Amino acid sequence: MRSELLYATDQGYISDTIETVELYDGAFSQMIGRGEGSVEWAGTHGTIEWTNFPQRRPDGVFLPDITGVIRLADHEHRIMYRLHGISLLPDNRDRRLFAGPVRWYTDDPNLLWLNDRWGYEEGELDRQTLRFQTRAYVLHPEPPG
């Protein structure tokens, strides 16, 4: 399997879109939030919009569960994507690393090959500003040997 950088993003949560529900004395917590940002993709740029619906682990860390849409400037069709990931405890800069598998769905004639691929996305969330940058890699299967 070979990985290839597909795109990089600069994103953040939209103000006043985050809601959290805590149940059973905090043993279960669910959040929802919306965000947006910019995408740099193979020499072109675009925008990204998403909704995150993460559950919180017992140690207080939310796990990304994102569904979104990417719009590229020179493409008529959109790319939908899903990311389910893990998060690490915050580092000494109060930033949280996260990563996870991602799938893309599109009817763009030039990007139909994405429907047969999956990849992974990794990023770093600033917990104070709720902004983050990511890199997404597409995985290309190769025959063994």
Output the pLDDT for position 48: 98
Please write the tens of the pLDDT for every residue from 44-54. 999 999 999 99
Q: How far is CA 88 from the centre of its chain?
A: 15
Which residues of the chain have a pLDDT value below 70?
none
Strands (E), 14-78: 19-23, 28-41, 44-52, 55-56, 62-63, 65-72
Token pair 């893309």: residue: 104
pLDDT for residue 13 = 97
- Picking from 107, 104, 132, the residue whose alpha carbon sits closest to that of residue 118 is 104
Torsion of CA 89, 2, 66, 100, to 10 degrees: -20
Does this model's pTM top 0.75? My answer is yes
- Residue 60 pLDDT: 82
Tell me the C-alpha distance between 142 and 4, whole Å: 13
Domains in the chain with CATH codes = 2-130 (2.40.160)
CB contact at 8 A, 82 and 117: no
Residue 27's pLDDT is: 75
